[in-house]
Every structure is written in C-alpha cells, then in structure tokens.
Amino acid sequence: MTDQPWIAVDAMGGDEGLEVMLAGVARARRRFEGLHFYLVGDEARIRAGLHSHPNLSANSEIVHAPEVVGSSEKPSQAIRRSKVTSMGIAIDLVKQGRAAAMVSSGNTGALMAMAKLSLRMLPGIDRPALAAPLPTLGDNDVVMLDLGANTEVDARNLVQFAVMGAAYARVILDLDRPRVALLNIGSEDQKGTDWIREAAAELRAATHLPLDFTGFVEGDKLARGHVDVIVCDGFAGNIALKTAEGTARFVGDLLKRAFTSSVRSKLGFLISRPATQLLRDHLDPNNHNGAVFLGLKGIVMKSHGGANELGVATAIANAAKMARADLTRRIAEDLGLEHVA
Amino acid sequence: MTDQPWIAVDAMGGDEGLEVMLAGVARARRRFEGLHFYLVGDEARIRAGLHSHPNLSANSEIVHAPEVVGSSEKPSQAIRRSKVTSMGIAIDLVKQGRAAAMVSSGNTGALMAMAKLSLRMLPGIDRPALAAPLPTLGDNDVVMLDLGANTEVDARNLVQFAVMGAAYARVILDLDRPRVALLNIGSEDQKGTDWIREAAAELRAATHLPLDFTGFVEGDKLARGHVDVIVCDGFAGNIALKTAEGTARFVGDLLKRAFTSSVRSKLGFLISRPATQLLRDHLDPNNHNGAVFLGLKGIVMKSHGGANELGVATAIANAAKMARADLTRRIAEDLGLEHVA
C-alpha cells in the first residue's frame, strides 16, 4: 500500500451538502500532504466548489456521478442505481483498486448494502460490522463494534467482531495485544443471552489469538479506558453509542443552564473558559468522526450525516491511516489465525 | 389504601450496610410524617442501630430475620432460603397485606425471583419489568422500562410493558395520557427487530388505551423530555441506563480535570460553585434512586446496591408514593382495558 493513497469521497452524501464535504477534504489535505482524492458527484457543482479550495486542484480528480442516494432510500433501491450514484461510483473506485478507501456521509444502510455487494466479504466473515473509536478517561480511545450494521447476531458473529476489532486496535491504536471485552448487563459468567455467554467461552479458549479477552463490560464502564475493544450486537452498540452522545449533550446543556443561571456563575464560566473549551474539544463528536465497515475487502468509511468540516476531515484522516496501515490485509491475516485453532 | 402506609425495609441488603439503610429510613420518616416501617433483619443489630435514630422508635417495628441473601447468590438458592432471609421476609409482609410496599438494596435477581414466586403476576402479565424515572431536560422525568429483568422479549411483552409504564407515569407523574415510545436504532418504520416493529404496530392500533404512542425513540433522545415512557427489552434498557450513568460520570470527571488544570480555571470553578452544585444534585443518582418491578401483585422497590442515605430515602419515598396512589390496582385496571381491544 502506498504512503500517498487515493481516497474516493462521495461528495454529494450527507445532510450538510457539497460545500461542507469539499471544505472537509481541503482541511484533510492541509493536514496530510500526501493524500490524493477522487471527488465523486455532480461535476459542474464540484468544479465550481473547488474555486474556494485551490489546495485541492493539483491533488484531486473529479469523477462525475449524475445521481445521489437519498437519505431514506431503501438499500435494495440504492443497489439498483449503484452505477449512477456518487456513493456507488466511489465504492467502485475501491473495487477497481484505483482508491485505497472511500468515505461517505450518506445513507448508512445503502452504503453497507452496496459495499457488501460490490467489494464482498473477507474469507470466513459472515457479516460486516460497523466500528468506531470512542473517547475514554485513559490514554487511548476504545474501539466499539458493531454500532448498528447487525440488529441480531450469533456467537460466531461476535467472535468474528472481536477478532476484527482487535486487528483494528492493533493497527490504529498501535497495541500488541488489545484487551477485548463483550458488552453485557453484568460481569458475572451467567449474565446475558446464550449467544453472549457462548462467545465468551470461545474467546476465553482462543488463547492463540493476538488479543486478551477480559470478560464482560457493563454500560457504565465504556469510557473508563480499562479495555481497548468492546464487542456487541448492532442494536446494543447503537443504543450505547447514541445514549453516550445524548447524555454528553444533556450534561452539556445542563451545564450551560447552570453557568448562565446567575451573574456570578457567568463570571466563573468566563474565567474557566479556556479549560472548558479543551473539554468541549475532547467531547466534540467531529473529533471522533468516522465508523468503518470491518470485514469487507476494502476500506469503507461512514462519516456522520451531520458532520461539519472538521468531522469530514477527521473521517478522511482515519480512512487514510487505515489505508496506509493496510488494515484489510492485517484483518485477513488475523482471521486466518482464528481458523488455525 | 391508607395514607399512612407501612413499608417493609430489607435492612440487611445492599453494599453500604445496615447503618446506611437505617439512616435512609430515618431520613424518609423525617420527610413524610405518616410513614411506618417494618425493619427486617438481625434484631439485635437493628435495635442497636436505632439508638442513633430516635425518630423511628414510635413508628417502626423490628421483624427478626436470621439470614441475608448474598450479593452473588443465585435466585434458585435465594428462593430456598426465603423464609429465613431479610429479603424473603420483607416480601412476605407485602404478601400478607401487612406492608403496602417493600424496599431492598440487595441482589436484584434474587429479589425478582422471590417476589414473582411469592406475590405472583397480575392477570394477563407474563413477566415483571423493572421501571425507573430518569432525569430529562423537560419538566418531568421519563419512565424507562425494562431496565434488566428480561434479557429477551417478544412483541406481547413490549406491549404489556408499555401499558404498565403508562399506568406508572399516570400515577407518579400525574399525566392523563403519557406519551409512550419504543427504544430503537432509528426512527423509520422498517428499523429494528421484528418484535419491535410488531409491538409498534399493535400500540399504533390500540387507540383505546390511555396513552399516546409516538413511535420510535433513539438513544440520543432519551433525556430530551419529548416522551414520558420509553419501552425496551431489559438488555437494551440496562445498557442504555448504565451508559447514561457512566457517561454523566465521565463528563463530570473530565470537567473536574478541566477545572483543576490551572489556577485560573480553579478560580472560575470556585466562583461558579453554587451553580455547578445544583447541577450535581440534579444528576446525583441518589436523587433518582428506586426501580420498581411492575406487573407483580404488590409493590417491590429495588434500591441501588450502592445507594447512600439520601438514595435509600428517595427509594422509600417513591415506594410510599406508589402505595398511596394504589399503583398495583391502577395497573390492573389499565391491563383490563388492553384486553377490551
């Protein structure tokens, strides 16, 4: 894998529009000199938008796509139009080997369905899982998966998610043997569903894998930094991720109320502002944007639909890091280990 | 139901010990003059502990129990010892009609199993659900259930939870037609599992019920105050509840770090302290303590194992409020309505 990868960007997907996508690409380009981009979408609109971003002219190529996947379009319908939509054409650039990764802020279900059909799964993997890093109190982020690709799973899926999540953590967090836990509603052995207990037994026995299985982790300990990878089904993962986002925003809103409740508290807030600004940056979802579909033969990065310029740049930077580290090959190698058992 | 109910308190359960339980009872008694208590546990130790709480002497009766349910004791084992443990004897006081409610900070699984066996379910209810109010940005708390009693559910269970949760909200939050939503991973109709979609269809059709079904709610909107009751299986509910608790603590820890990171920020914090103290009180789990098992023929209140004096007092006050409002009868009436359909 080259150190100067090409990234295919679905320039039309997302709630914030083409301008935010292009601004995010330009920002990522300023941070990482070596990056090159396929900007996929309406050629005339992209060409017009590029006037505001001269730093992209020498390092990007426009690939015209006449249509866009709708935000509530059904996956089956999106698949039928994959040859003409910006999302479908961006995925195809990965399939052709012209791009090392693709990034989209568009419809998640359509993205997964099209990517699965076009790029196909790695050998031995039944389903892709959506993985993303979350902030913790520790030195490292924690990788969590699945975040919503699979509402129902079995023990075999969970074990595969664990192996893929650990490979991701080894590559992205530079860890030799990531600590992997299963999300559950208690830490005792008999807690949870049959398939969670079965996955725990398999992971406990799989000592040849390059990971340390640490048992169960509960929802109140996700951000403690005691584990590196948290594995769950896509329903629980999505609930946990969104509840964490919502609660952080809730506490922030209450804080804002508290700080504006009196002249005295407003003064205190102004004095503390540099410190609270650091905290705000630490928790800003745009600084943690980008969930990747693990298990595909290629890197497909989902950026949050509402991501701003910073968020898009973060997702692109993460995709580039995965491409440079050859994440797909590394996961395939680790999955090979699983079958040695 | 009398306005001066007797509450049976499992004085031995919980991580904080007898002293905290008695202090919590004394605190609840100071807040609500009419309450009477059965204090169930080791008679000699309770008698000694009561020296510190003279306000309880005239309003409480000690009921001796020679044994205690262990915190990791299996439900099946706890059931066998139910005639000699403080938890079992406190439940039996409800069954005999001597107490209008019971409160325990002990082993949740054992409490549910013993209560179900001893008190039995209301007609038409298959399983009890654990329900509790959570703080929101709105004027009212939101009632969430199930919080961990049932790891797997079907559509019928979810509909029953909705009816019971709405009855609870009508009684405790004084609402005529509570707004009820199902927790899901998206707001579109096709999202989630089969049983969630099926429950949604049934609730949408059940217009004769005293509730307004508003569809799906996602994890990031739990605390917005847009709904009054959130219904889910016990696995997702437990994950959401604990993730919310953990995230609130996480943000608090980050805030503490931010405020102590420089002399300037420390000064700002000291000035704002009265305001941030209000926020801390609003989020303190001890101010929201007490989850009730809905669907039983009797009021069984689970207090958090680590609840402090304030937390125990809150749980007792909530149990007393439910007893005074005759919650069990009100739920039975609403469940009757369900079968009219």
Which of A73, A69, A242 minimizes the C-alpha distance to A144? A242
| Helix and strand element counts for chain A (H, E) | 11, 11
A residues 305-324 closer than 8 Å to B (CB)? none
Residue A341: per-residue pLDDT:
41
**Which of A239, A262, A265, A281 has the most B C-beta neighbours within 10 Å, making it the best mutation to test the interface with B?**
A239
Residues in CB range of B123: below 8 A, 6 or more apart: B332, B335
Cα dihedral A135→A137→A141→A146 (10° resolution): -70
Query: Tokens 């009265």 map to which residue?
Result: B274
d(Cα A144, Cα A53) in Å, to the nearest integer?
Answer: 34
CB count within 10 Å of CB A77 equals 12
Q: Does A183 touch chain B (CB under 8 A)?
A: yes
Question: CA of A78 to nearest chain B CA: how many angstroms apart?
Answer: 16
- The domain A1-125+295-326 is placed in CATH, from the list 3.40.50.1820, 3.40.50.300, 3.40.718.10, 3.40.50.720, at 3.40.718.10
Does the distance separating the beta carbons of B248 and A244 come in below 8 Å? Answer: no
User: Residues B244, B223: contact at Cβ < 8 Å?
Assistant: yes
d(Cα A289, Cα A149) in Å, to the nearest integer?
Answer: 17
Please name the member of A183, A268, A274 whose beta carbon is closest to the beta carbon of B271. A268
Residue B340: per-residue pLDDT:
45
- The tokens for A123 are 């050998």
Cα dihedral B294→B295→B299→B305 (10° resolution): -40
Query: Tokens 């893929």 map to which residue?
Result: A164
Q: Does B263 touch chain A (CB under 8 A)?
A: no
Backbone phi and psi for residue B112, each to the nearest 5 degrees, phi listed first:
-65, -45
Q: Does B137 touch chain A (CB under 8 A)?
A: yes
Residue A101: per-residue pLDDT:
97
- The tokens for B20 are 């905290």
Residue B338: per-residue pLDDT:
61
SS (H, E, C) B95-126: HCCCCCEEEECCCHHHHHHHHHHHHCECCCCC
Residue A337: per-residue pLDDT:
66
Does the distance separating the beta carbons of B192 and A235 come in below 8 Å? Answer: yes
**Which of B220, B232, B259 has the most A C-beta neighbours within 10 Å, making it the best mutation to test the interface with A?**
B220
Does the distance separating the beta carbons of B270 and A273 come in below 8 Å? Answer: no
**Which of A151, A188, A235, A264 has the most B C-beta neighbours within 10 Å, making it the best mutation to test the interface with B?**
A235
Q: Does A66 touch chain B (CB under 8 A)?
A: no
CB count within 10 Å of CB B207 equals 10
Does the distance separating the beta carbons of B274 and A219 come in below 8 Å? Answer: no
- The tokens for B58 are 């005239």
Question: CA of A240 to nearest chain B CA: how many angstroms apart?
Answer: 6
Which regions of chain A are under pLDDT 50?
1, 340-341
Question: CA of A136 to nearest chain B CA: how many angstroms apart?
Answer: 8
DSSP string, A113-158: HHHHHHH-BPTT--S-EEEEEE--SSSS-EEEE-SSS-SS--HHHH
Query: Tokens 């509909």 map to which residue?
Result: B159
- Find the helix packing angle between A263-283 and B234-259, rounded to 10°: 120
d(Cα A49, Cα A286) in Å, to the nearest integer?
Answer: 22
Which of A53, A158, A163, A41 minimizes the C-alpha distance to A102? A41
Does the distance separating the beta carbons of B249 and A220 come in below 8 Å? Answer: yes
B residues 89-118 closer than 8 Å to A (CB)? none
Which of B217, B194, B232 minimizes the C-alpha distance to A151? B194
Q: Does A224 touch chain B (CB under 8 A)?
A: yes
* pLDDT tens digit at each of 341 positions of chain B: 556 889 999 999 888 899 999 999 999 999 988 899 999 999 999 999 999 999 998 889 999 999 999 988 999 999 999 999 999 999 999 999 999 999 999 999 999 999 999 999 998 898 899 999 998 888 889 999 999 999 999 999 999 999 999 999 998 888 999 999 999 998 888 888 999 999 999 999 999 899 999 999 999 999 899 999 999 999 999 999 999 999 988 888 888 888 888 888 788 778 877 777 777 777 787 888 899 999 999 999 999 998 999 999 999 999 999 999 999 999 998 887 665 44
Task: Determine the CATH number of domain B126-288.
Answer: 3.40.718.10
Residue in chain B lying closest to A243 (CA): B219
Question: CA of B131 to nearest chain A CA: how many angstroms apart?
Answer: 16
Please name the member of B188, B235, B278 whose beta carbon is closest to the beta carbon of A258. B278
d(Cα A319, Cα A309) in Å, to the nearest integer?
Answer: 16
Lateral strand order in the sheet of A179-183: A60-64, A36-41, A6-10, A101-104, A299-302, A291-294, A129-134, A142-145, A229-231, A179-183, A212-217
Neighboring chain B residues of A242 at a CB cutoff of 8 Å? 185, 218-220
Q: Does B187 touch chain A (CB under 8 A)?
A: no
Q: What is the Cα B135 distance to its own chain's centre?
A: 13
**Which of A230, A233, A250 has the most B C-beta neighbours within 10 Å, making it the best mutation to test the interface with B?**
A250
Under DSSP, is residue B293 helix (H, G, I), strand (E, B) or coil? strand
C-alpha pair distances (Å), A37 with each of A99, A217, B74: 8, 40, 59
Residues facing A229 on adjacent strands:
A143, A180
CB count within 10 Å of CB B79 equals 17
Burial of A341 (0-12, 13-18, 19+ CB in 10 A): exposed
Neighboring chain A residues of B148 at a CB cutoff of 8 Å? 185
Query: Tokens 């505001």 map to which residue?
Result: A52
| Amino acid identity at A108 | T
Question: CA of A54 to nearest chain B CA: how many angstroms apart?
Answer: 38
Identical topology for domains B1-124+295-326 and B126-288: yes
Residue B82: per-residue pLDDT:
95
Question: CA of A245 to nearest chain B CA: how many angstroms apart?
Answer: 6
Residue A3: per-residue pLDDT:
67
d(Cα B207, Cα B210) in Å, to the nearest integer?
Answer: 8
Domain boundaries, chain B: 1-124+295-326, 126-288
d(Cα A112, Cα A75) in Å, to the nearest integer?
Answer: 8
Q: Does A220 touch chain B (CB under 8 A)?
A: yes
Residue A340: per-residue pLDDT:
45
Residue in chain A lying closest to B269 (CA): A268
- The tokens for B299 are 């009021």
**Which of A254, A255, A281 has the most B C-beta neighbours within 10 Å, making it the best mutation to test the interface with B?**
A254
Please name the member of B188, B265, B275 whose beta carbon is closest to the beta carbon of A258. B275
Q: How many CB pairs under 8 A join A and B?
A: 201
Asked if CATH classification 3.40.50.300 holds for the domain at A126-287, the reply, yes or no, is no
d(Cα A235, Cα A218) in Å, to the nearest integer?
Answer: 15
Does the distance separating the beta carbons of B247 and A248 come in below 8 Å? Answer: yes
**Which of A261, A264, A272, A304 has the most B C-beta neighbours within 10 Å, making it the best mutation to test the interface with B?**
A272
Q: Does A32 touch chain B (CB under 8 A)?
A: no
Which of A35, A36, A43 minimizes the C-alpha distance to A12? A43
Neighboring chain A residues of B258 at a CB cutoff of 8 Å? 272, 275-276, 278-279
Under DSSP, is residue A183 helix (H, G, I), strand (E, B) or coil? strand
d(Cα B204, Cα A118) in Å, to the nearest integer?
Answer: 38
CATH class of B1-124+295-326: alpha beta
